[in-house]
Chain A
Amino acid sequence: MKNKINKYDIGLILIIIVINVMILVFGSMNTADKGKKIAYVYSNNQLVGEYTLTEDYKTEFKVESGSGYNVIHIEGGKVWVQDASCPDKVCLHQGKISSDGEFIACLPNGLMITIVDNEKNENDSDIMTK
Chain B
Amino acid sequence: MNKLQKYVFLSLLTAGALILNIIEGMIPLPYIAPGAKLGLSNIVTLSAMVVFGFKDALMIVVIRCILLMLVATNPITFIYSIVSGIVSTIVMGAVLKYFKKLSLIGVSVLGAMAHNASQITVAAIIFENANMYYYMPILSLVSIFTGCFVGFASIFVTDNLNKTLLKLRREV
Contacts and interface: CB of A to CB of B under 8 A. Distances in A.
Interface of A: 2-6, 8-9, 12-13, 16-17, 20-21, 23-24, 27, 42, 45, 67, 88, 90, 93-94, 101, 103, 105, 107-108, 110, 112, 114, 130
A24 B13 CA distance: 38
A12 B137 contact: no
Contacts of A23: 136-137
Interface class of chain B by DSSP: helix
B96 to A, nearest CB: 8
B9 interface: no
B21 to A, nearest CB: 14
A107 B80 contact: yes
Contact of B104 (A3, A103, A130): A3
Q: What 10 pairs between A and B have smallest CB-CB spacing?
A: A9-B106, A20-B137, A93-B31, A23-B137, A8-B101, A90-B34, A20-B140, A24-B137, A9-B105, A2-B103
Given A93-B34, A110-B76, A114-B131, 12 more contacts: A2-B50, A3-B103, A3-B159, A8-B102, A16-B113, A23-B137, A42-B127, A67-B76, A103-B129, A105-B132, A107-B80, A114-B129
A123 to B, nearest CB: 18
Contacts of A27: 134, 137
B128 A130 contact: yes
B109 interface: yes
A3 B155 contact: yes
A101 B34 contact: no
B74 A67 contact: yes
Contacts of B83: none
B34 A13 contact: no
B138 A24 contact: yes
Nearest to B25: A88
B128 A9 contact: no
B4 to A, nearest CB: 29
B49 to A, nearest CB: 12
A115 B134 CA distance: 14
Interface string B107-126: 00110010000000001001
Contacts of B34: 90, 93-94, 105
A101 B31 CA distance: 21
A108 B129 contact: no
B103 A108 contact: no
A108 B76 contact: yes
B53 interface: no
A129 to B, nearest CB: 12
Interface centre among A3, A4, A108 (most CB of B within 10 A): A3
